[in-house]
Chains A and B, each alone.
Chain A
Amino acid sequence: MSVILVYVEAHDGVVAPASLETLAGARQLADGSGGSVEALILAADPAPLVSQIVGADRILAVAHPSLAAYLPEAHQAVLVETVKARKPDLLLLANSYVGLDLAASTAIATDRPVVSYCMAVALAGDVLTTTNQVYGGKIEAIAETKLPAVAAVNPGTFQGTAAARPQVETIRLDAPAALGNLASSFVEALKEESGDVDITQQERLVSVGRGIGDADNIAIAQALAKALGAEVSASRPVVDAGWMPKSRQVGKSGHKVKPKLYVAVGISGAPEHLQGMRDAGFITAINSDAKAPIFDVAQIGTTCDLFDLLPALTERLNTRNA
């Protein structure tokens, strides 16, 4: 009988949707293997989070003032102590930025293997079999990892929310002594500089990726956006290069958008980008690589050279507009 421990991520007193998905997945795995699910919540006051947990047999709650805001060192200390004490067969985390901090570090501190970027997870005996996205989503790996193990699961892997369990036990765990002697501290939450446009509220987006080549070339995407009645957004490399402001970034490290129309220009479709736009109503992809993952989520696509196509499409639209 396997025990699956789920690390629950929460922000401002709300359990992250990715953690609710992970709980639902843990529930499926536990039901399939006759096991049980434990959910670990960390907060200054865990009470408001307890009621949001669905799918666990037991809730493990750790309360400490240093857990009021997310601090990697503090959360790692609690997670490591919990894994050592509870000895779960499998520790599941959402593969978020927080998951990046905690999955591999907890694996080292508890001497377990870790497997990341999971998009399918199965348990059989003492072997965890996963399908994992690697190489920017161009390749998937089937990996076998021996339990006990740690797995970081991509958002969207598990669908829905688990059914509530009839009797859920809440266990208060003592905070580890390490929380009184941390080498790091939370300073302040940062608000993103509000941009001129909220891309999450747009009906149409023309989104530029690395394929646009240069900051000066964004003008042709802006011209298309104007003709379409759209705003321009961007993938991470374009923002990291300083060509577009962060407020316009789509994807895991940017914003999740759901416009009626999303025109992806020179975007290959790395998993982190797809996380932010795959629910768009209609996706048009323009990319020179016919094998780019963006074409998997798009309704229509072309490998036509964007530097020829964008002006042609803009002209076609402007002809209509005239």
Chain B
Amino acid sequence: MHIVAVVRLVPDLLEEIQVNEQGTDIDREWIGVKLCEFDDHALEEAVLIKEATGASVTALGLAVEGIDRVLQSAVARGADRAVKIDCGEANLDSRAMAKLLSEALPQLKADLVLAGVQTPEDLFGQLVPFLGALMGRPHASGVTGAQVEGSAVHIQQEYGAGRAARLKLTLPAVLGVQSASQPPRYVSGTKLRQAIQGTKIETLSLTADPASSGTVKEMRRPARGQGAEMIDGEAEEVAGKIYEALASRGLLGGK
């Protein structure tokens, strides 16, 4: 049983996102990147399955700046192998990445592929349904837990508003993870240092094909509506103004 967990670096949304000079993409020159939070959960679920079944886990990412540390961190969290795909492209959209992975995964002989359900950049579609359809494998997004039993994986898929279902997918399968069965684990500095020193990152060289997607004509900050009336000042002053705003509208409850 071999699980591949896909790890992707995405812009850190806690930072300010600027549009480039041409107005057709974000400015990637200075933006901070971080592991996609849903991939973080996908990796955790992969390690949880490993702990339950003895499966092996490979963390797989594109060879971009910063990926080595993400892969080393994945090993520190329990992945057995770290592989990066060198395709000469740093900015693949999800469709092109799915095409690339559909070529890489047979080499890795994956029974189960886990990736985050979406990234902040999936304008032209998401990786998991692309990959499932390309490889002719059953796939599901919105997964909130996965348990491997024999030649199948049992998953929980959520639909919002408290609705969810349990489904059974025959392996090999591809899952888009919304959240892991448990929150992603903390990795100690010692473990991370060991992984940094001890992990041999393998490289696969493949050629990426551009995907047939639409074209971005413009990126911009959303036009702000009237927006909130902003209250500035020290905490006590702001608290007083919020109190008055709520009291004057009869919104205060409690005693």
A associates with B: yes
User: What 0/1 readout, one digit per residue, does chain B (114-132) give for beta carbons within 8 Å of chain A?
Assistant: 0001101111111001101
Question: What would 18 A/B residue contacts be, using CB atoms closer than 8 Å?
Answer: A96-B160, A97-B160, A101-B141, A103-B125, A104-B129, A105-B129, A108-B129, A115-B123, A116-B125, A142-B217, A185-B168, A186-B167, A239-B179, A254-B161, A300-B231, A302-B232, A304-B238, A315-B239
Q: Is A303 an interface residue (CB 8 A)?
A: yes
Could you tell me if B254 and A317 are in contact, using CB atoms closer than 8 angstroms? yes
- A268 and B245 within 8 A (CB): no
Most buried by A among B182, B215, B234, B235: B235
Check if B219 sits within 8 Å of A139, measured CB to CB.
Answer: yes
Give the contacts of B165-218 with A (CB-CB under 8 A).
165-170, 173, 176, 178-180, 182-183, 212-218
Considering the complex, which residues of chain B in the window 227-255 have a beta carbon less than 8 Å from any beta carbon of chain A?
227-236, 238-240, 242-243, 245-247, 249, 251-255
Contacts of A301 in B (CB 8 A): 227-231
Which one of B130, B167, B173, B182 lies within 8 Å of A105 (CB-CB)?
B130
Contact between chains at A187 and B165 (CB < 8 Å): yes
Chain B residues engaging chain A, CB cutoff 8 angstroms: 11, 13-14, 16-17, 19, 26, 37, 41, 94-95, 98, 117-118, 120-126, 129-130, 132-134, 137-142, 154, 156-170, 173, 176, 178-180, 182-183, 212-222, 224-225, 227-236, 238-240, 242-243, 245-247, 249, 251-255
Chain A's interface: helix, strand, loop or mixed, by majority?
A: mixed
In the complex, the answer to whether A109 meets B222 with C-beta atoms within 8 Å is no
B129, A282: Cβ atoms under 8 Å?
no
Number of interface residues of A (CB under 8 A): 110
Q: Given B157, B182, B230, which contacts A242 in the complex, CB threshold below 8 Å?
A: B182
Known: A115-B124, A185-B168, A187-B168. A268 touches B13 (CB 8 A): yes
User: Beyond A116-B124, A141-B218, is A97–B228 a contact (Cβ under 8 Å)?
Assistant: no
A86 at the interface (CB under 8 A from B): no
Tell me, in angstroms, the Cα distance from A11 to B157 when the chains sit together.
14
- Known contacts A70-B159, A107-B133, A141-B218; 10 additional CB pairs below 8 A are A72-B138, A72-B141, A101-B129, A106-B133, A111-B212, A184-B167, A186-B165, A203-B253, A237-B37, A316-B239
**How far in angstroms is the closest Cβ of chain A from B9?**
14
A114 is an interface residue with CB less than 8 A from chain B: yes
| Beta-carbon contact of B183 and A103 below 8 Å | no
A interface, CB within 8 angstroms of B = 11, 69-73, 76, 96-98, 100-109, 111, 113-117, 128-130, 132-146, 149, 182-192, 203-204, 210, 226-230, 236-237, 239-242, 247, 252-256, 260-261, 268, 270, 281-285, 289-291, 293, 295-305, 308-309, 311-313, 315-317, 320-321
Contact B231–A145 (Cβ < 8 Å) = no
A290 touches B253 (CB 8 A): no
Q: Judging by beta carbons under 8 Å apart, are A241 and B124 in contact?
A: no
Chain A residues whose C-beta falls within 8 Å of the C-beta of B227 in the assembled complex:
295-296, 298, 301
B94 proximity list for chain A (CB < 8 A) = 104
Minimal beta-carbon separation of A148 from chain B (angstroms): 12
Give the complex CA separation of A254 and B212 in angstroms: 34
Tell whether, in the assembled complex, residue B124 and residue A72 are in contact, meaning their CB atoms are under 8 Å apart: no
B159, A284: Cβ atoms closer than 8 Å: no
- CB-CB < 8 A to B222: which residues of A? 133, 137-140, 293, 296
Contacts of B246 in A (CB 8 A): 261, 282, 284
Contact A136–B218 (Cβ < 8 Å): no
Distance, CA A268 to CA B141, complexed state (A):
24
Asked if residues A255 and B231 are in contact (CB atoms below 8 Å), the reply is no
